[in-house]
Chain A
Amino acid sequence: MSHAAVDHPILDPLLAPPFPKAVLPVLRNPQLRKNVAHAIDVIQTKRARLVTEKSDWQQLRTAASAVRAHVLENLAAYLEQFEARCTAAGGTVHWAANADEARRIILDILRQENASEVIKIKTMTSAEIQLNPYLESGGVSVFETDLAEIILQLGEEEPSHIVVPALHINRSQVREIFARRMGLHDLSDDPHALTAAARTYLRQKFLKIPTAISGANFLIAETGGVAIVESEGNGRMCLTLPQTMITLAGIEKVLPRFQDLEVMLQVLARSATGERMNPYTSLWTGVTPGDGPQRFHVVLLDNGRSAILAKAKERQTLKCIRCAACMNACPVYRQTGGHAYGSVYPGPIGAILTPQLMQMQHAQSLPYASSLCGACFEVCPVKINIPEVLLELRSQVVNQERRHLGRFFDPMYLGLRVANLLFSNAWLFHVAQSLGRMGASFFTRKDGWIHSLPSVGGKWTQTRDLRGLPGQTFHEWWAARAKEAK
């Protein structure tokens, strides 16, 4: 099977290779690229239709952006309010400074519950902290319940998108995974049959396993409520049937009031899946006697977020509501899919979020994984100016690098320092131009293009051609023209 030939992607930013390297196996895999492009095209077409139909779309974006910015600026106050209300409603709120602490808190709760099995609603935050392998090694069997997550879990695959994480896997590949792991050898590759197989596989787990883990789309400070947006009903199963519910949420997920959902729910589904509304959205508040889990825990996760908050330009990264519209719109993501980003957060939002969550110590190639075309900013329902943050991060990467002693004689930085000198002096610039023309003529082919350059120039020409320098500069042409006129 062609998919198995792909090098297994690494989504841990500490270990993942840089983007230009990680992308190579994908670019060599036509099936994978076809699967990604198909899925993206379907969502993009639906989204465009439903956004056009909404005459107040820009006003909704403005409101959504303003609410999210207001929350982030006053995050401490809203988190404390959420904690107080959630506690008053019967929930227990935990705070985790980093991934390790969040994992330990969750495993401790599971141990107190004597839980040897747990069912899960899809949560990218749990993938961020690599929760599943930790729980498994702590003796807890984890069952993902979202269809895409089951495909990934049973197929030992990695997510490549934050809303449709298995979009890189096609129906025949799903059939192969289900047939092998569920022992259903007569299964057809009809998506109806595959979905029915998942329904049967999970039904007993929903009814029997009394402990569940979820993420959160929104936390409501005013009430202590938690909202989950989903399609399949696996979310409702996990947050209704078990006795104990554990919700893992990034600290940035708060909204001030219940009423803010009137904006967020209108923009989220349209942006994420191109639907007017997703089939199911659930909101619950602490513990309701006789209805749903009777023990409820919220784990609030920092894990690098508060450091992002400190920087005025980068703070907007945390406005994200994880709709994935930016990756669907991104010309780079469309070609590469998600794995090349080396993180559970791919696409444009991943390119700015991942390096920042890593305190700019890892994933430094990601801010360059963009053409800066701005399509991501245009579709973002909370108006995150992703190109602005990309440029800011690029400048941070450069500043870090050039302070590094070993980089002083790096051909690129050497070249840039020389360029700086040349561009600041007209006489030097003209001399360099004549020399450059002579030099470039060695590499310019008969067709007038430079196809390959040595040394650092090769970084440019390995993926693009460069037009050869013209025989005359504008200055020379202008001077010659003036002479002729006389």
Chain B
Amino acid sequence: MTASVDSRERILDRIRSATQSVALEPAQLASAYAALPRTYIHSGALSAAARVELLVERLREYDAEVVECTPEQLPASIAAQLAASGKRTFVVPPELPPAWHVPGFNFMIDRGLAHSEIEQAEGVVTAAFCAVADSGTIVLHHSSAEGRRVITLLPDWHLCILYASQVVETFPEYFHRSPQPPELVTWISGPSATADIEMTRIKGVHGPRFLHVILVHD
């Protein structure tokens, strides 16, 4: 679009002339950025056990269901969660560990399922990239064990499996864990909610209404 090309130059020219007294040379930009004040808390001070305890507390405040188990108990714990949900059909990402495909349920493996097919699933089971205890946030980078964005969106019930070693205390610690900026991220802090009507918090508008977490003490 030619109009847009002209506007590009026009806008950038306006910005350059507006900032000419303060803008840095490209060579100085990185060092000026590095010198910005960052005196906030970067690393947490909690023990590993206290960190996990804080995460569980935060998740429960968001009305998420949390159960804890050992690595040996994990398949049984998954089976118990799925059974308690009363649901039969779950969509799962292509590289979910095979041991998590517990018998007795229908697993639809997402290798490019249509939205209408995912919509038929009653729940979804995924791994996570990590979790941040301070804010109770589960982080998905949408790897092939965490699944495409759509599978953790359409089903009404989400079971997420987290290892204690994946739990960090502060938000900055998570960013230090991701040296390469990811292309896709979803930060989930509790189930979908709204407070648009009289500031009353209502759980479950469009995303999954039920968030379940199994915390594996590894």
Contacts and interface: CB of A to CB of B under 8 A. Distances in A.
Interface of A: 35, 38-39, 42-43, 55-56, 59-60, 62-63, 66-67, 70, 72-77, 79-80, 89, 94-97, 101, 104-105, 108, 145-148, 151, 164, 166-167, 170-171, 174, 191-192, 194-195, 198-199, 202-203, 206-207, 220, 222-223, 225, 231-234, 236-237, 240-241, 251, 256-259, 261-263, 265-266, 273, 275-286, 288, 290-292, 300, 302, 306-307, 309-310
A281 B187 contact: yes
A117 B18 CA distance: 39
B192 interface: yes
B181 A257 contact: yes
Interface in B34-80: 36-41, 58, 62
B175 interface: yes
Contact of B189 (A108, A146, A277): A277
Contacts of B148: 290-292
Contacts, number: 253
Interface stretch (B25-33, B84-92, B122-130): B25-33
B192 A231 contact: yes
Contacts of B29: 74, 77
B23 A74 contact: yes
B113 to A, nearest CB: 11
Nearest to A71: B33
The 7 A-B pairs of least Cβ separation, nearest first, read A233-B207, A233-B206, A258-B181, A310-B18, A277-B189, A306-B14, A232-B205
A67 B58 CA distance: 29
Contacts of B12: 76, 79-80
Given A75-B19, A191-B198, A279 B207 contact: yes
B198 A277 contact: no
B155 to A, nearest CB: 12
Given A96-B4, A309-B15, A233 B135 contact: no
A87 to B, nearest CB: 12
Given A66-B36, A240-B150, A101 B3 contact: yes
A73 B23 contact: yes
A67 B33 CA distance: 8
Contacts of A285: 183-184
A195 B202 contact: yes
A166 B204 CA distance: 19
A276 to B, nearest CB: 4
Contact of A207 (B15, B115, B189): B115
A105 B33 contact: no
B116 A207 contact: yes
B209 to A, nearest CB: 9
B7 A56 contact: no
B109 to A, nearest CB: 14
A174 B187 CA distance: 30
Contacts of A199: 204-206
B188 interface: yes
Given A38-B198, A277-B135, A76 B19 contact: yes
Given A191-B198, A277-B187, A63 B39 contact: yes
A188 to B, nearest CB: 12
Given A77-B26, A96-B4, A195-B204, 4 more contacts: A231-B205, A233-B208, A234-B206, A281-B185
A96 B199 contact: no
12 contacts: A62-B37, A70-B32, A74-B24, A89-B183, A195-B202, A195-B204, A231-B193, A279-B189, A279-B190, A282-B186, A306-B15, A310-B17
B137 A195 contact: no
A366 B29 CA distance: 36
A58 to B, nearest CB: 9
A174 B12 CA distance: 44
A265 B171 contact: yes
A70 B171 CA distance: 22
Contacts of A167: 196, 199
Contact of B188 (A63, A203, A280): A280
A295 to B, nearest CB: 15
A192 B202 contact: yes
Interface in B2-17: 3-4, 7-8, 10-12, 14-17
B215 to A, nearest CB: 18
B208 to A, nearest CB: 8
Contacts of B145: none
Contact of A231 (B26, B36, B195): B195
Given A147-B197, A258-B181, A280-B186, A73 B19 contact: yes
B171 A262 contact: yes
Contact of A75 (B1, B15, B137): B15
B187 A265 contact: yes
B186 A97 contact: no
A251 B11 contact: yes
A4 to B, nearest CB: 18
A232 B14 contact: no
A283 B182 contact: yes
A148 B196 contact: yes
Contact of A234 (B3, B36, B136, B205): B205
Contacts of A277: 135-137, 187, 189
A194 B185 contact: no
Contacts of A276: 58, 134-136, 189
